[in-house]
Amino acid sequence: MTTPSPLHIHLIAICGTGMGALAVMLKAQGHHVTGSDKDVYPPMSTVLSEQNIPVYKGFSVAHLAPQPDLVVIGNAVSRGNPEAEAVLSRKIRYASMPETLKTFFLWNKTSIVVTGTHGKTTTTSMLAWVMEQAGFDPSYIIGGIPIGWATGAKLGAGDVFILEGDEYDSAFFDKRAKFLHYLPDIVIINNIEFDHADIYNNLDEIILAFRRLVNIIPGNGLLIGAADDEHIQALMQGAPCTNQTFGEGINARWAARQVNITPEGTTFNLYEEGSYRDQLTIPMYGAHNVQNALAVVAAAEQVGVPWEKTVTGLGSFPGVKRRLELRGVINGIHVYDDFAHHPTAVEATLCGLRSAYPDKRIWAIFEPRTATTIRRIFQAGYSTAFDAADYILFAPIYLPHKAPEGNRFSLEELIDGLHTRGLHALALPDVDRIVNHLISHVQPGDHLVFMSNGGFDSIHEKMLKKLEAL
């Protein structure tokens, strides 16, 4: 499918990670791109400015003059937005972000869609890095930014397009999961758990979204999934394509054994169908990142990446911003930024760090922020998610009124439970109090992990500045 070029394409809510990445790729394809958003701030504002993409702060019908050929409406936009209302009333051509990706970029590419409740961003980044280093010049769109890269999106000249596939809905006018638009040839499913309580009522609804994705993989395609996830295995049984599994179990097609985690990273022996293949090293911590690497190995093999390029690519992967990203080391105190918010992700992050530093003190500083986190659905899950930390600090719940009062997450209940189990946990009223508490108690050799899916009021920078001033 081809589209006329150049078009004037306007993006409403352009500063979201996916929308900003789409804007960059549309610009690279030769289109005149504009956008608007409620708030315009770095890093996305910087990325868009460097691409000479005009961005309007706030929403106004004036931003639609002259009238665009196409308006892309982000899934953060709801009815009542003045630009969206004007688009509907004037019958201006419009589409969601994933539909636009499909129309403009995916019809003539081999589409690799990386999905799952956890690990999508890291796995997508790792695969893009391996293929980039191998000279494949892939296209990619990632929900985060690999360390050392300016953006999480690129329009490459190669035949492969790698996409982070989200099960979240596409737009207010299209409630299908985003990944159903992505014309998948290869699908990776890392894991399936309940999430997105604001749009899914239960786990069965999430599994249905993944089943619909599997059902559109072509017969000559490939489904790559975790061997130890019962939901993925059930999907594989009815898949219309070839399946490959990965994991630590003996039944996995791609298996990791003899896993060794040190401060330098993680080393493991790779087995293919029960036979030793090679020893791999990734400069990351944790069993969850070993799983991510196994999925990358399977996908890279499928598209013909030379084996030695896969090995060296994995070994040189720099990581992803906000995924246990080391922001600084001052006076022997390590400060990390991490995106974890689901209990499973919190536990995996802290356990990975504990494996690398078994004798060091670990502080977990957590902001309950997502639409799911602020609900009771994860109340029990959080009760053990922080066990690998020595000390746990909680910021106030972000916008708690967005959760129904009878279904609201209770920080007090969680802390009482942690105290009952002998853990050191404390809630503090704001970021400044958290930083001051840490300054009064941290010691050289401590590791501080700040966890939030938002900006956390720049707590990392505030902490580093305070440490520098000591």
Model confidence over 175-233: pLDDT tens digits? Answer: 999 999 999 999 999 999 998 888 999 999 999 999 999 999 999 999 999 999 999 99
Q: What is the per-residue pLDDT across 325-356, written as a single tens digit (0 to 9) for each?
A: 999 999 999 999 999 999 999 999 999 999 99
Residue 250 has pLDDT above 80, yes or no: no
Written as six digits, the tokens of 332 are 């022997």
Torsion of CA 75, 78, 84, 88, to 10 degrees: 100
Superfamily classification of domain 8-95: NAD(P)-binding Rossmann-like Domain (3.40.50.720)
- Residue-level pLDDT at 371: 85
Mean pLDDT, rounded, for 357-379: 93
Tokens describing residue 51: 């691409």
Between strands 174-177 and 186-189, the pairing is unpaired
- Work out the burial of residue 204: count CB atoms within 10 Å of its CB; fewer than 13 is exposed, 13-18 middle, 19 or more buried: exposed
| H/E element, 457 | none
Q: What's the pLDDT at 301? A: 98
Rg (CA), the chain: 22
pLDDT above 60 for 304? yes
- Phi, psi (degrees; rounded to nearest 5) at 279: -105, 130
**What is the third-level CATH fold of 325-469?**
Protein-Tyrosine Phosphatase; Chain A (3.90.190)
- For the chain, which residues make up each domain, given as ranges? 8-95, 100-316, 325-469
Instruction: Determine the Cα–Cα distance for residues 356 and 371; give it in Å rounded to an integer.
Output: 32
Q: In the structure, what pLDDT confidence band is assigned to residue 67 with cuts at 50, 70 and 90?
A: very high
Q: Which of 7-21, 145-159, 349-363 has the lowest mean pLDDT?
A: 145-159
- As a whole number of angstroms, the distance between CA 149 and CA 372 comes to 30
Q: Among the listed ranges 233-247, 349-363, 397-411, 426-440, which one has the minimum average pLDDT value?
A: 397-411
The rounded mean pLDDT for the chain is 95
Query: Residues, the chain, total?
Result: 470
Residue-wise pLDDT tens digits, 259-273: 999 999 999 999 999
pLDDT of residue 143: 84
In terms of CATH architecture, what is 100-316? 3-Layer(aba) Sandwich (3.40)
